[in-house]
Amino acid sequence: MKKFLILALSLVLIGGLLASCAPSQPSPSPTTTSPSPTPTAKKITLGLVLSTLNNPFFVTLRDGAQAEANKLGVTLIVMDSQNDSAKEASNIEDLISRKVDAILVNPTDADAVVPSIKKANDAKIPVFTIDRGANGGVIVSHIASDNVAGGKMAGEYLAKALNGKGKVVELEGIAGTSAARDRGQGFNEVMKNYPDIQIVARQTADFDRAKGLSVFENILTAQPEINGVFAHNDEMVLGAIQAAEAAGRTGIIFVGFDAIDDAIKAVKDGKLAATVQQQPALMGQLGVQTAVDYLNGKTVEKYIPVPLKLITKENAP
């Protein structure tokens, strides 16, 4: 019996020693679940295809678009078509291949741009036009001034400045652009109301200052009497003013369109009687804003007008 008690006690002591030497097991901790990463909104990328960046008007439009893109946190890819329809088509195809979310285009030609717009439509990329329209394809929104109204504004001013009579020259923009077509339409609708005003020459100078100068030089040679000039943009009218100054022809009332910085200076200097002010920076801003709204599921208007204003020496900024 005594041996049994000693053996039992020994076993208890050995068991205790083994238990104290065994590695301790960590107590189970509460189960934790890592939170799933919050899905972030897809980064929007827009393409902006401009007819040319060799014109201050479109540089300002681009800057307005870029400022709005920065504000909204979207990527803006800007492309210059250099007033070349083939280059424009290549630019739009490039944007389609990059799978941008939307394309904003300022067409070089209202008809020539249509096949490119249709390619974007086929690729399910929404298209917006700015300043100039397109004659086909599906356009979500057109953001522009009312160029017909602007042409009328210029025409009324010039007619009144001439007291309803005189000989007038019209310098036209790039044939095929909606801006040239609409500004000319508005101007000539007004001229029909003034039978004593005669349009002695109409020639295109492609919205270009150097061409405005050379074209008007030829007109000055052919026309011994010119009382007024309306140009579809300021670049052309500034070239025409240079030509008149070089030829020593005075007393001509010049009216332009766009209110670029050089034109406003010419108004203040008394060389340019008036210019129709568009707001290119606002156009660019509204273009980006409208595209982003549409991509975010908002309803947007088919036509978004940008207000016009006639700038004269009395109200030049």
pLDDT-derived band at 257 (thresholds 50, 70, 90) equals: very high
pLDDT of residue 112: 97
Q: Between 35 and 69, whose confidence is greater? A: 69
Is 5 a member of any domain? Answer: no
pLDDT of residue 197: 98
Across the range 33-37, mean pLDDT stands at 38
Instruction: Tell me, yes or no, whether 198 and 262 share the same domain.
Output: yes
Q: Is 221 exposed, middle or buried (0-12, 13-18, 19+ CB in 10 A)?
A: exposed
Two tokens, residue 281 = 């920076």
User: Is a pLDDT exceeding 90 seen at residue 35?
Assistant: no
Instruction: Tell me, yes or no, whether 202 and 223 share the same domain.
Output: yes
Residues 252 and 219: beta-carbon distance below 8 Å: no
**Domain harbouring 90, CATH code:** 3.40.50.2300
Instruction: Tell me, yes or no, whether 246 and 180 share the same domain.
Output: yes
Across the range 67-89, mean pLDDT stands at 98
- Residues 196-251 have pLDDT tens digits of 999 999 999 999 999 999 999 999 999 999 999 999 999 999 999 999 999 999 99
Instruction: Tell me, yes or no, whether 97 and 244 share the same domain.
Output: no
The residue with tokens 């009312």 is: 146
Instruction: Tell me, yes or no, whether 215 and 238 share the same domain.
Output: yes
| Residue 263 Cα distances to 142, 154, 316, angstroms | 26, 14, 10
pTM: 0.79
Instruction: Tell me, yes or no, whether 254 and 291 share the same domain.
Output: no
Instruction: Tell me, yes or no, whether 164 and 252 share the same domain.
Output: yes
Is 162 a member of any domain? Answer: yes
The whole-angstrom distance between residue 84's C-alpha and the CA centroid of its chain comes to 17
User: Is a pLDDT exceeding 70 seen at residue 8?
Assistant: no
Domain count, the chain: 2
Spatial strand order of the sheet with 141-144 comes to 75-80, 45-50, 102-105, 127-130, 141-144, 303-305
pLDDT of residue 51: 97
pLDDT of residue 31: 39
Is 30 a member of any domain? Answer: no
Is 29 a member of any domain? Answer: no
Residues 159 and 191: beta-carbon distance below 8 Å: yes
pLDDT of residue 4: 39
Count CB neighbours of 109 within 10 A.
21
What phi and psi values does residue 100 have, to the nearest 5 degrees?
-65, 165
Instruction: Tell me, yes or no, whether 127 and 178 share the same domain.
Output: no
Is 65 a member of any domain? Answer: yes
Instruction: Tell me, yes or no, whether 56 and 164 share the same domain.
Output: no
Instruction: Tell me, yes or no, whether 161 and 273 share the same domain.
Output: yes
- Domain, as residue range, for 136: 45-144+280-304
Is 73 a member of any domain? Answer: yes
Share of the chain above pLDDT 70, in %: 87
Instruction: Tell me, yes or no, whether 105 and 155 share the same domain.
Output: no
Instruction: Tell me, yes or no, whether 79 and 169 share the same domain.
Output: no
